[in-house]
Amino acid sequence: MKAQNEIWRNLSGIVFTHPLKELLEEAIQRELKNGYELKVCVGSDSHVYGNEVHYATAIVVIRKGKGAFAFIRKERIVQKIGIKERMLNEVAKSVEIAYAIHEILDKYDIQMEVHADINTDSDFKSNIALKDAMGYILGMGYTFRAKPYAFASSSCADLAV
């Protein structure tokens, strides 16, 4: 799968050389061995710079009550698109990763949420994509979170984009 061959980093910028599934499984095994209860949240964010859209996707591994760490991938795409399409591209990137890692999470009985950087307040432009994004994520069988509860996208991925 495409996502496994891409470059993943942590928020400090350290690049990981292992494929995504291997990287995540090693981290899960290490954290479970240390006695942590885990939850994983996946989210993406984007920013427009001229005719480029910069995307970042974050996999946040939460040690319940004991902090978290994240794996990040970045992409740049030359395209001119509207807000709704860009929001749905973010969601598609998150769902791609959720799909790639769900077997590992199921193996260790770890809950996953997919976060969308979409505002639930209709006064914000991103709200135009809320229903479509929610339907897509829920239709794939994942737990959906939007702003203000979508920290994987609106905080972690946003830091990297």
pLDDT digits (tens, 9 = 90+) for 144-159: 999 999 999 999 888 8
Question: Strand 143-147 and strand 111-119: pairing?
Answer: parallel
Whole-angstrom distance, CA of residue 154 vs CA of residue 124: 14
Examine the pLDDT at 2 and tell me if it is beyond 50.
Answer: no
The three-class DSSP label of residue 112 is strand
Q: Which residues contact 99 (CB under 8 A, 6 or more apart)?
A: 140
Whole-angstrom distance, CA of residue 30 vs CA of residue 26: 6
Give the per-residue pLDDT at 85. Answer: 96
pLDDT digits (tens, 9 = 90+) for 82-102: 999 999 999 999 999 999 999
Quick one: average pLDDT of 117-136? 93
Q: Which residues contact 37 (CB under 8 A, 6 or more apart)?
A: 63, 64, 65
The three-class DSSP label of residue 74 is strand
Alpha-helix runs per DSSP H in the chain: 20-33, 83-107, 130-139, 151, 158-160
Examine the pLDDT at 4 and tell me if it is beyond 60.
Answer: no
Read off the pLDDT band of 161 (50, 70, 90).
confident
Give the per-residue pLDDT at 6. Answer: 79
pLDDT digits (tens, 9 = 90+) for 112-126: 999 999 999 999 999
Give the per-residue pLDDT at 1. Answer: 32
Examine the pLDDT at 5 and tell me if it is beyond 60.
Answer: no
Whole-angstrom distance, CA of residue 70 vs CA of residue 10: 6
pLDDT digits (tens, 9 = 90+) for 8-49: 999 888 999 889 999 999 999 999 999 999 999 999 999 999
pTM of this prediction? 0.92
Mutual orientation of helices 130-139 and 83-107 as an angle, nearest 10°?
20
15 CB burial (10 A radius; 0-12, 13-18, 19+): exposed
Give the per-residue pLDDT at 79. Answer: 87
